[in-house]
Chain A
Amino acid sequence: MAFSQSSTGEKMNEMHESSFAPLSARRLLLLGGIGLILVGMLVGDIFAVFVLHQNAARVGASLASAAHAASAGDHSLGQASFQDVGAFLENRGTKVDTHVHLIDFGYLALLLAILQPWIAFAERMKRRLAWLFLAGAILLPVGVFLIHYVGLVYSPLETIGWASIFADFGGLLVMIATFGLLLGLGEHFRSRVSVPVKDALLLDRSASGRVLLVGGMVMVVAGFLHGAYYAAIDLYRHEALDASILSDMAKAAAANDAGMVDRSLEAYGQFQGDKAVKIAAHAHIIEFGLLTMLLAFFQPYVSLRETWKFRWAYVLILGSVLLPVCVLMELDFGLVAGGLADFGGLLVIVALLAMWIGILRYTGQLDGHLGEAR
């Protein structure tokens, strides 16, 4: 029995070595993917603390200025205020897009890393596609982040600036790389003599992997249930409120009722806050659930003691639940809930960093082992 177990272990090690060689596509996509997610989360945290609320206040102030301009019959100030609203929303939008794209490209990289053994291309080709993917996945968010600052400076086009052009080019690189890898996957399924894929990662049934897989799945289900609840209870109410509050604001402006304008503005701010926290909670718990599930597959590569793998798995799950739950409570409990939500985000970042370091340790051990074998 002992002999059989050690022989199985050796076979697993050989399988890991062959699929996770230095600068292999899987290694590039895994380390690059977790790196993208980490940077994306840090950008999100910095955005939440230093930009989100300040920007929302500026949007509110510009909307108030537009309403008061309408009240005073000042058309030009009204138009200028709406242009300001547009500029602030663009600033906010590009930062949210940077955060979202970094994280989503990270997820896609992890997914493509898992699928590598099924991609029927030579390792060299897969490596090139992985580099192409990572180049595009970095270029697009950096380009999007710079859109607000670069504007149309030296642009050869009337409406699209250089930052947008580079961002679009990054997107194109990601699409080419993903499409190329999918062609390889299609080739595997089309192949008449389909060789069964043996991947040690997918054979792993470790306890920490199981905790992450089940925990992630429960989070995804919770997110879907919350989404269904939101659609049934809040969605149509929010849509009706959006138009009716703005209409009341415009009517009050026409009647020169400054008090009513201010009350409508306050109601509009509260409504937008209510909508934003509910959508953010729904999106975050599903995304964290998916991330937790993806990380479950890579546990054999995390070179840490089993107890520490467990601890980091639980820290990841705790942070992943704490953040959306506290975001949801932000309207009722204000800064306390906001602070706890940020702490949840920090827990996710720390757990992810710990797993990333564990994987780096594993690559060091693997490379050392390969060096000795040579």
Chain B
Amino acid sequence: MNGARRLLILGGIALALWGMGYGLWYAVFAEHQALNGIGSSLAAAFDASASRNPGAREAAFGKYKQAKYVYDRQVDVHSHWIGLAMLLVVVGIAFDRVRFAESYKRMLALALVAGAAIFPMGVLLQTFDHGSVPRAITILGSALVIAALVGITLGLMGRQTLAE
């Protein structure tokens, strides 16, 4: 098994274990609290409306917005890490059918593994910092994944050699 293929398969397995570990931590320590936060703030907002209390209503909606923002990203991080990990392993298995020079294939594999790791990491960082740095990391990660996938697709479409 050559280096690029090994990088994709082992990188994929490592990312899957990391994603599952994150999911386990999230399910045990964060998910129920997040869902409770979303449900209770929404109920509190409507309760405040029933009491004709605009201040409490706006405060409750503020909490709802923040809780939902964090919850959506945490779920996305988990599913994207594991989904990308699976893609890495599948692409790794098919990588000997990519008809490019080894150096170019290594570069594509590296870009895909790096993108698959940092794209969800950027999304996770957005839950701590709403600034532009986490968004830039997310965009960089997703751009790496898309560029590598386009490159690999072109390599798979290449003409079969006589030996094949």
| Residues of A in contact with B (beta carbons under 8 Å apart) | 66-67, 69-75, 78-79, 82, 86, 107-108, 111, 114-115, 175, 182, 185, 189, 197, 202, 205, 210, 213-214, 217-218, 220-221, 224-225, 227-228, 231, 239, 242-243, 246-247, 250-251, 253-254, 286, 290, 293-294, 296-297
Contacts and interface: CB of A to CB of B under 8 A. Distances in A.
B93 A202 contact: yes
Q: What DSSP secondary structure best describes chain B's contact surface? A: helix
A294 B90 contact: yes
B34 interface: no
B66 to A, nearest CB: 10
Contacts of A75: 47, 50-51
Contacts of A294: 90
Given A107-B86, A202-B96, A253-B46, 14 more contacts: A70-B47, A71-B50, A72-B50, A82-B46, A115-B93, A185-B13, A189-B6, A202-B93, A220-B87, A224-B142, A239-B69, A239-B72, A247-B61, A251-B57
Contacts of A182: 13, 17
Interface of B: 1, 6, 10, 13, 17, 20, 39, 42-43, 45-52, 54, 57-58, 61, 64-65, 68-69, 72, 83, 86-87, 89-91, 93-94, 96-97, 138, 142, 145-146, 149-150, 152-153, 156-157, 160, 164
Contacts of B47: 70, 75, 78-79
B45 A246 contact: yes
B130 to A, nearest CB: 11
A288 to B, nearest CB: 13
B123 to A, nearest CB: 9
A217 B68 contact: no
11 contacts: A78-B46, A78-B50, A82-B46, A182-B17, A202-B96, A220-B87, A224-B146, A246-B42, A251-B54, A251-B57, A253-B49
Contacts of A227: 142
Contacts of A246: 42, 45, 61, 64
A213 B152 CA distance: 11
Contact of A205 (B64, B90, B164): B164
B3 to A, nearest CB: 12
A82 B42 CA distance: 9
A214 B142 contact: no
B57 to A, nearest CB: 6
Contact of B153 (A217, A247, A297): A217
Closest 7 CB pairs between A and B? A70-B49, A250-B49, A70-B50, A243-B65, A254-B49, A217-B153, A70-B46
